């Protein structure tokens, strides 16, 4: 392969690795609820508050709980969200979307295992708003203990219908303990068209590697 062709192959490879739409970059800020670092094992945030980085508490109260013998183990990092502070809270985050673009929401949920003020089960809504309601899921969880949170996975792919989409987590019950959330993520799903564009680059890179390897094995 000539030097010029090699250079083109390298350029195509770099394009493959950096092409927008192929890398699943995170659209949410602080989906693991690690910020702010709370000074004790739990802290309450009352509406209206934007003290939980990236999020807005819009109704009543929520807690951030830290991994501990009372609150169990966060799914990721050291902190998690209890959607009930001392009562039923709501928290939201808006993010930029492209109209018609496909996105994937993933999160883990459990329930606050604190035996004090325990309920038989814990209820909350997970909702996505665009121009209207794009998705809403009523979730219920029970059985979490500090030793085993029994984190449950939720995922949902959706098409955005506006330039801003809002994720809302909302408690559906009174009380000090609620559904706990962690590892909340939204990423753009690559369009099939992006892969078609990128395929020739991958082929060129493969051919270039082969061409470089062949002289060594034969010579
Ligand atoms: Ca976390
Ligand atoms: Ca609480």
**Which ligand number lies closest to the CA of residue 32?**
1
**How remote is the CA of residue 61 from the centroid of ligand 2, in Å?**
8
CA of residue 148 to ligand 1 center, whole Å:
16
Residues 6+ apart with CB under 8 A from 182: 32, 33, 74, 75, 76, 77, 79, 80, 81, 107, 108, 109, 151
Q: Ligand 2 centre and the CA of 186: distance in Å?
A: 25
Contact by Cβ (8 Å): 97, 70: no
Instruction: Write 32-37 long-range contacts (CB < 8 A, 24+).
Output: 32/74, 32/76, 32/77, 32/79, 32/182, 32/183, 32/184, 33/64, 33/74, 33/77, 33/79, 33/80, 33/81, 33/181, 33/182, 33/184, 34/77, 34/78, 34/79, 37/79
Ligand closest to CA 78? 1
Q: Kindly indicate the confidence band of residue 121, based on its pLDDT and cuts at 50, 70 and 90.
A: very high
Smallest-distance ligand from the CA of 107: 1
Residues in the chain: 219
Ion ligand 1 residues within 5 Å by Cβ:
32-33, 74, 76-77, 79, 182
Residue 55 near residue 32, CB atoms below 8 Å: no
Ligand nearest to the CA of 81: 1
The CA 85 to ligand 2 mean position distance, Å, reads 4
pLDDT surpasses 50 at 213? yes
Provide the Cα torsion 210, 212, 217, 219; round to 10°. 140
State how far the Cα of 19 lies from the Cα of 207, in Å rounded to an integer.
Answer: 20
For 24-189, CATH number?
2.60.120.260
Phi and psi at 6, nearest 5°, equal -60, -45
Annotated domain spans of the chain? 1-22+192-219, 24-189
What is the pLDDT confidence band of residue 211, given thresholds at 50, 70 and 90?
A: confident
Q: What is the pTM of this model?
A: 0.80
Mean pLDDT of 78-88: 98
198 φ, ψ (degrees, to nearest 5):
-90, -20
The 10s digit of each residue's pLDDT in 189-202 is 987 776 666 666 76
Can you give the pLDDT at residue 86? 97
219 pLDDT above the threshold of 70 = no
């Amino acid at each position: 392969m000539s030097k010029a062709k090699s250079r083109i192959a390298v350029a195509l490879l770099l394009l493959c690795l950096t092409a927008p739409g192929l890398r699943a970059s995170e659209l949410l800020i602080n989906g693991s609820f690690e910020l702010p670092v709370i000074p004790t094992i739990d802290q309450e945030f009352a509406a209206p508050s934007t003290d939980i980085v990236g999020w807005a508490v819009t109704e009543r109260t929520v807690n951030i709980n830290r991994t501990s013998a009372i609150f169990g183990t966060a799914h990721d990092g050291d902190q998690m969200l209890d959607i009930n502070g001392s009562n039923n809270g709501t928290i939201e985050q808006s993010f930029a979307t492209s109209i018609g673009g496909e996105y994937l929401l993933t999160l883990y949920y459990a329930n606050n295992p604190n035996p004090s003020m325990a309920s038989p089960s814990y209820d909350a809504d997970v909702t996505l708003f665009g121009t209207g309601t794009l998705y809403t899921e009523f979730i219920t969880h029970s059985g979490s203990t500090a030793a085993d949170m029994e984190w449950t996975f939720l995922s949902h792919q959706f098409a955005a219908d506006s330039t801003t989409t809002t994720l809302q987590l909302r408690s559906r019950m009174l009380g000090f303990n609620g559904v706990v959330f962690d590892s909340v993520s939204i990423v753009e799903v690559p369009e099939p068209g992006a892969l078609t564009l990128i395929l020739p680059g991958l082929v060129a890179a493969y051919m270039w590697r082969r061409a470089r390897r062949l002289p060594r094995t034969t010579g």
